[in-house]
Structure 1
Amino acid sequence: MKRVTMADVAKAAGVSKSTVSQFLNKRYEHMGEETKEKIREAIERLGYHPNYIARSLKQKRTAMIGIIVANIMHSFSTEISRAIEDFCHEHDMHAIVCNADDDPVKERKYIEMLRARQVDGLILFPTGGNLELYKQMEQERYPVVFVDRKISEVNIRTIVVNNKEATYQAVAHLIEKGHRDIAIITPPLTIYPRIERMNGYKQALNDYRIPIKQEYMISTEIQRMISELSRLFALPDKPTALVAGNDLSFFEVMKFLKENGLRVPNNVAVVVFDNIPFASFSEPTMTTIAQPAYAMGKKAAELLLQQIHHHEELPDSNLYTFPCTLMIRESSSRALI
C-alpha cells in the first residue's frame, strides 16, 4: 500500500505543503477555520500519519524525554512522574519512564539507552553511583534535571525538598507532645534525602537537650527492618514514638506493629516522611510529612524544556528547594504529658 504523504494531504485539501506543515505543528496564527477544517478532513479521509522520524531529523529533536526513577515503588516517585508526563502532554512531548531500582548499573544502562535513542533530555532521580557520567552530561550541556537527590560534585539543576527542616519540625512536634524516647528508621544513609532527614532528627533532639541514642537510629535495607524493629522494641527503654523515613519503611513499621499487637498511637506514636495516599482515612489517620510531589514534577519538566528549547546558561543557584507540610493527624496526637 502506498504511503500517504503530506503532499497528498495538501492536494486533497487544496492548500500548500507548508500550510499542512503549519497545521501539524499547531501554528494557526494566520490560518482560517475553513482551511483548518479542510486539512483535518483530508487527514482523516486519507488516513495520513505524520512521519515523526523524518520530522525529528529535520528539527534535530525527537519530542521525547526520558525519566529515570530510582525506585518506582515509592508513591512520591509515581506522583512526580505523573506530573512530568502531564506537562509533556500539554507541550506535545512524550515521556519514557525507566526504573533504576536504586542500582547504578541499571541507571547507567538506561542513560546510555535513552541517549542512544536521541531523547531531547533526561529527568533523573540519581543513584549517585555514576558521577563521571553526570559530569559528562554537564560538560556536554546535555539537558538534564535531577529530582529528589542533590549531587554536590556536579552543577546540574536539582529539585529537592527541605528534608532536614521538615524532619526537625516533625520531631519537635513529638517532643512537644511529651515524647523523649523517639526512634527513626530509614533505608541505608547512602543518598542525600535520607542523610538530611537523619540530620534533622538529631538536630531536633540536640536543640531540645534530649540525649541521642544510637540504638534508636535504624538505617538498613527494607528486608532487614522487621528484625531491627524487633531488636528496638526488645530494649528496656522502648521508644514511645517513631519516625519512618519514607513510605516503604513505614509499611515495614506497620507490619511489625500489627504482628506484635502494638497499637498506634496507644503504644507508639508514628510519623511518616512521605506521601501516603490513605493517610487521611486510615485507622488511625496517619501524621505525614507531605512533599509537594506534583509541583516538583511540573517544575522539573519546565526546567528541562527550557534547556531543550533555549540552551540557556545555568543560573548562579541551580538548587530549587520545595517546602514540606507536616500534616498532624491521630497517629501522633496522643500527648504523654
Structure 2
Amino acid sequence: MAKNITIAQVAEQAKVSKSTVSQYLNKRYEYMSESTRQRIEAAIEELNYHPNSIARSLKQKSTYTVGVIVANILHSFSTQILRAIENNFNANGFHIIICNADDEPEKERNYIEMLQAKQVDGLIIFPTGGNLDLYEQMHKQNFPVVFMDRKIDGLEINTVMLDNHRAAQLAIDAFVESDYKRISIITTSIIRNTSPRVERIEGYRQALEAHGLPVREEYIRTADAANIQNELNELFALDAPPEAILAGNDRVLLEVLKYMKEHQLVIPDDVAVIGIDEVAFASFYTPPLTVVTQPTIDMANKATELLLEQIKSENKTAKTAIHRLQPSLIKRGSC
C-alpha cells in the first residue's frame, strides 16, 4: 500500500517551511519568490503529493465546495452559465456539485437540504419559486446564497439576472424596423410567476405600446413545452395570424421551428422569428436565426463574485441587490 506523502515531506524536499508550502497550496504566490514556487512545484510532482482535502476542510472549517441548483438543465442558457460558474470556482480552489430541479419545487427542496447536509460553503440557485420557507430560512441563518436568472419578491438575497424588459424590447424593435405589425410572443408556463417569462411579456407589451401598436391578448401565449404546438395551431387559426413570433426562450424556439417545418412555413417570408437566448445552431440554420443573447459569462462571473464575498466575509449581512445585466441583439436572417 502506497504511503501517504505529507506536507512536511514536501517542505523538506523543497527546503522551505510547511507554512510556505501551505501558502503555495492556497495559491498565495505573492508571499514567495519564483524560485521558491518552482522548488515546491517540483517537490510536489516528484513526491506525487496530493493535498488531503478532508483534513484541510476540518482545519479551515470549510469544505471548499459549493452547490448549484439549476431550475432546468435543458436550457442552453443553463448549460452555458454552469460551464462558466464551474470554471470560476475551479480557479478559486472550489469544487461544485450541480443539481437539476426540473422546475419541480419538491426536487429543489430535496437538493437544498442535501447540499446543506453535505456542508457546502454556499449555494447558487436558479429558484423554482416554490420554497419560500427554505429561502427565508437560509437568509435568516446568513447562509451564503445567490439567486441566478430569477428573483423572489420580498427576499433580500443577491440576485443576478437579465434585463428581461430590454430583451423583449430589442426583439420588438427589430420586428418593427422590418415593418412587422402583428407580433406574437410565446413563453413556457408562467404558472409560478417565473420572473424572466413574466418580465419578457411585460417588456413585449411596453415595446408594442411605445411603437403605437395594439396589444392583442390572443397573440400572448404561455404553455408547458409539450403544449406549445397546440398554442401555435391556435395562433395560426386566427383570422389575422401573426406575421412575427418572439420565442421567449430556446425550448420555445425549437418548438416554433419544428412547427414551421411541419407546416411548410418559410422564415421570414411567411413568419419572422426571433428567439431569446443564443442556440448552437442559430448561425448556420436556414435562414440564420436572429436572437437576443444573454451575457452568460458576465452573469456567471458576477454570481461567483457575490457568493465568494459572502463565503469569505465575516459580515454575512452585507447589503444585497438585484444585479441586472444587459442583453444584445444578433441580427441574422430570420427577421
TM-score, structure 1 normalization: 0.92
**CA–CA distance in structure 2, aligned partners of residues 249 and 99 of structure 1:** 19
Residues 132-177 of structure 1: per-residue CA shift (max 9 Å, x gap): 1011111111111111101012100001111112212322332333
Q: CA deviation at 1:32?
A: 4.3
SS of 1:288 mapped into structure 2: strand
Q: How many residues align?
A: 332
Contact 1:168 1:201 (8 Å CA) reproduced: yes
Which of the residues 293, 298, 309 maps onto 1:295?
298
1:256 aligns with 2:270: no
Partner of 1:335: none
Residue aligned with 2:334, SS? helix
Local SS of the residue matching 1:330: coil
Mapped pair 1:142 → 2:143: yes
- Of residues 201-210 and 134-143 in structure 1, the stretch that sits farther from structure 2 once superposed is 201-210
Quick one: structure 1 residues 37 and 181, their matched pair in 2 at CA, closer, same or farther if it must change by over 3 Å?
A: closer
C-alpha spacing 1:314/1:163, structure 2 compared with 1 (3 Å) = farther
Pairs within 5 Å for 1:257-336: 257-312=260-315, 318-332=321-335
Answer yes or no: is the 8 Å Cα contact 1:7–1:17 preserved in 2.
Answer: yes
Which amino acid in structure 2 is aligned with residue 99 of structure 1?
N
Structure 2, unaligned runs of 5 or more: none
State TM-score, norm by structure 2. Answer: 0.93
Query: Sequence identity of aligned pairs in percent?
Result: 50
Deviates more, 1:211-220 or 1:154-163: 211-220
Q: Tell me the amino acid that sits aligned with residue 62 of structure 1.
A: T
Give me the whole-angstrom Cα distance separating, in 1, the residues matched to 2:59 and 2:91.
Answer: 22
- Give the drift of 1:211: 2.9
Q: Contact 2:142 / 2:316 at 8 angstroms: preserved in 1?
A: no
Is the 1:287–1:327 Cα contact (8 Å) retained in structure 2? yes
Deviation at 1:73, TM superposition (A): 1.1
Q: Which residue of 2 aligns with 1:152?
A: 153
Q: Match of 2:185, SS?
A: strand
For the Cα contact (< 8 Å) 2:144–2:316, is it kept in 1? no
Q: State the alpha-carbon separation in 2 of the partners of residues 26 and 169 from structure 1.
A: 43
User: Which one is further off, 316-325 or 98-107?
Assistant: 316-325
- Of the three residues 230, 241, 248, the one matched with 2:233 is 230
Conservation of the 8 A alpha-carbon contact between 2:290 and 2:330: yes
Match of 1:164 in 2: 165
Q: Are the aligned partners of 2:23 and 2:31 in contact in 1 as well (CA < 8 Å)?
A: no
SS at match of 2:173: helix
- Structure 1 counterpart SS, 2:246: strand
Cα shift readout 1:105-135 (whole Å, capped 9, x = no counterpart)? 1111111111111111111111101111011
State yes or no: 1:40 paired with 2:41: yes
Cα deviation code 1:278-337 (max 9, x no counterpart): 3233211111111111110111101111111124455656011111112222111xxxxx
What CA RMSD, in Å, does the superposition of the two structures yield over aligned residues?
1.9
Report if aligned partners of 1:80, 1:293 keep a CA contact under 8 Å in 2.
yes
1:153-192 alignment runs, 5 A limit: 153-189=154-190, 190=192, 191-192=194-195
Correspondence 1:129 to 2:130: yes
- Which one of 205, 209, 214 corresponds to residue 208 of structure 2? 205
Cα 1:133/1:298, change in 2 over 3 Å:
same
Alpha-carbon distance in structure 1 between the residues aligned to 2:310 and 2:59: 19
In structure 2, what is the equivalent of residue 68 of structure 1?
69
> Counterpart of 2:94?
93
What is the distance in 2 between the residues matched to 1:315 and 1:64?
A: 22
When residues 199 and 34 of structure 1 are mapped into structure 2, their CA distance, relative to the original with a 3 A threshold, is closer
Residues 6 and 173 from structure 1, CA distance in 2 versus in 1: closer, same or farther, beyond 3 angstroms?
Answer: closer
SS of structure 2 residue aligned to 1:95? strand
User: Alpha carbons of 1:54 and 1:207: their partners in 2 closer, same or farther (altered >3 Å)?
Assistant: same
Question: In the alignment, is the contact (CA less than 8 A) between 1:128 and 1:151 conserved in 2?
Answer: yes
Measured in 2, the distance between the counterparts of 1:47 and 1:67 equals 31
8 Å Cα contact 1:306-1:312 kept in structure 2: no
Q: Is the 8 A contact 2:122 2:145 kept in 1?
A: yes
Residue 101 of structure 1 deviates from its aligned partner by 0.8
